[in-house]
Amino acid sequence: MKKLSLCAVAFLLFLLQVHAQDKKILNETPEQKEQRLAWWVNDRFGMFIHWGLYSMPSRHEWVKSNEHLTDADYQKYFDLYNPDLYNPKEWARQAKAAGMKYAVITTKHHEGFCLFDSKYTDYKATNTAAKRDLIKEWVDAFRAEGLKVGFYYSLIDWHHPDYTIDRVHPQRPADPKAYEQLNKGRDMEKYRAYLKNQLKELLTNYGKIDILWTDFSFPGEHGKDHNDWNSLDLIKMIRKLQPGIIVNDRLDLGEYEDGGDFATPEQYKVSEWPTRNGKRIHWETCQTFSGSWGYYRDETSWKDNKQLLVLLIETVSKGGNLLLNVGPTSRGTFDSRAQDRLKGMGAWMEVNGRSIYGCTEAPAEFKRPENSLLTYNPTTKRLYVHLLDYPLQRFELPGMKGKVKYAQLLNDGSEIKMRGTDKGDLALDLPVRKPDVEIPVIELVLE
């Protein structure tokens, strides 16, 4: 066989790299994908719900791992679990009133406990004092309020006997040499079958499911990646069972263009619209009211209403969605702090939602004034200026002279007088008194 030159080898490697970037699972055009994700891109704001046995110790959803609890230590929570005040209709009502358009709930978190009635385990809600499928009630309640429904399903399982002990497992050893001995008798092939069977149940038994959150892969030494989950086989099954579903990016299928529909930056603000191979991608930041996802009774780091609204507005201003989490109590209620935050966001969204739904990053020609955030609706051609620090009457929009036909405060639809300046800016005459909303919004009807 003739020896290839270094140039030829380099070119072949380049072609392989390009091919790897273009590998696809679905036979779907970019236009078809945009159509499939259109409702989600429009709605922008959803509720995440983390609920399970960890709501009983109420000191972080990772309590089993953080405190190295054994199955025997954790059993008391299963034996005593009794969400007697659980009313998913009330949860759905609060989500809708907050301005949320979709919701995602943990059907099973890392602890392995299932809120749904799975025929593949006894570790489920139907075998507790609840004695019923909590997910079925939740799906029915949220659908009745007109909200899209999504399932979170943990790839990780600290209860299953065949799930191998890894670096985040509660029984992880201090000495890495001990992993092999600890994992004797555990069989990931059996666990992979369990994983696939449960996902099939979730995507078969509850009607149309709009979103699937699989969580999470952690490649590397004593970690788990797409091979451990058989992710390629899973994503093909998921797409087949629910052709219209939107799937997150945590199956570790990054080499495939469509290994996930959206990126998931967690608990931080992105500096700019995320990209992949130089192209902007769909993204959704998942965030908590405090620091934990599950109910944490003694946590004091709760964000106030303005912080949460800025988080929502800034996310949309960079082309993203916000999935904001509630961790219900073990009795099945949203605690008073969560209810207060939801009401605060709902009061603002009721009059200012137009600056969020259907909106995205403003075109580069519109410069953001200090202490403000911009969103833009490309369908209505309206620009929204969110005033994070309310100015004293005169407010200037740089370079906007001649580009605006009408300006108003969005909360009450009251006109704002405007005039051009010699510098080409647009000066707005705002009322001295700040409007009675947390963050006032100016709606600009563009020429």
Q: In the structure, what pLDDT confidence band is assigned to residue 170 with cuts at 50, 70 and 90? A: very high
Average of per-residue pLDDT across 376-387: 98
What is the DSSP pairing of strand 321-326 with strand 45-49?
parallel
Q: What tokens does 96 get?
A: 């809708």
Q: What span, in angstroms and rounded, lies between the C-alpha atoms of 222 and 19?
A: 30
Write down the residue that tokens 């891109």 correspond to: 41
User: In this predicted structure, what is the pLDDT of residue 418?
Assistant: 97
Using one digit for the tens of pLDDT, what is the confidence trace for 250-272?
999 999 999 999 999 999 999 99
Other beta carbons within 10 Å of 29? 9
Average of per-residue pLDDT across 98-121: 98
Q: What span, in angstroms and rounded, lies between the C-alpha atoms of 404 and 407?
A: 7
Q: What tokens does 340 get?
A: 């207060």
Q: What span, in angstroms and rounded, lies between the C-alpha atoms of 139 and 115?
A: 12
Do residues 28 and 258 make contact, with C-beta atoms less than 8 angstroms apart? yes
Using one digit for the tens of pLDDT, what is the confidence trace for 110-132?
999 999 999 999 999 999 999 99
| Average model confidence (pLDDT) across the chain | 95
422 burial (CB, 10 Å; 0-12 / 13-18 / 19+) is exposed
User: In this predicted structure, what is the pLDDT of residue 202?
Assistant: 99
Q: In the structure, what pLDDT confidence band is assigned to residue 22 with cuts at 50, 70 and 90? A: low
Q: In the structure, what pLDDT confidence band is assigned to residue 19 with cuts at 50, 70 and 90? A: very low
User: In this predicted structure, what is the pLDDT of residue 26?
Assistant: 86
CA angle, corner 410, sides to 407 and 415, nearest 5?
A: 40
Average of per-residue pLDDT across 242-253: 98
Average of per-residue pLDDT across 288-303: 97
Per-residue pLDDT for 399 more than 80?
yes
pTM: 0.94
Q: Which residue intervals of 107-187 are DSSP H helices?
A: 134-144, 179-182
Per-residue pLDDT for 3 more than 50?
no
Per-residue pLDDT for 14 more than 80?
no
Q: Which residue intervals of 178-331 are DSSP H helices?
A: 179-182, 188-202, 226-229, 231-241, 305-317
Per-residue pLDDT for 190 more than 70?
yes
- Which comes out higher in pLDDT, residue 15 or 366? 366
Nearest by Cα to 389 from 373, 401, 402: 373
Q: In the structure, what pLDDT confidence band is assigned to residue 328 with cuts at 50, 70 and 90? A: very high
Do residues 84 and 332 make contact, with C-beta atoms less than 8 angstroms apart? yes
Average of per-residue pLDDT across 186-193: 98
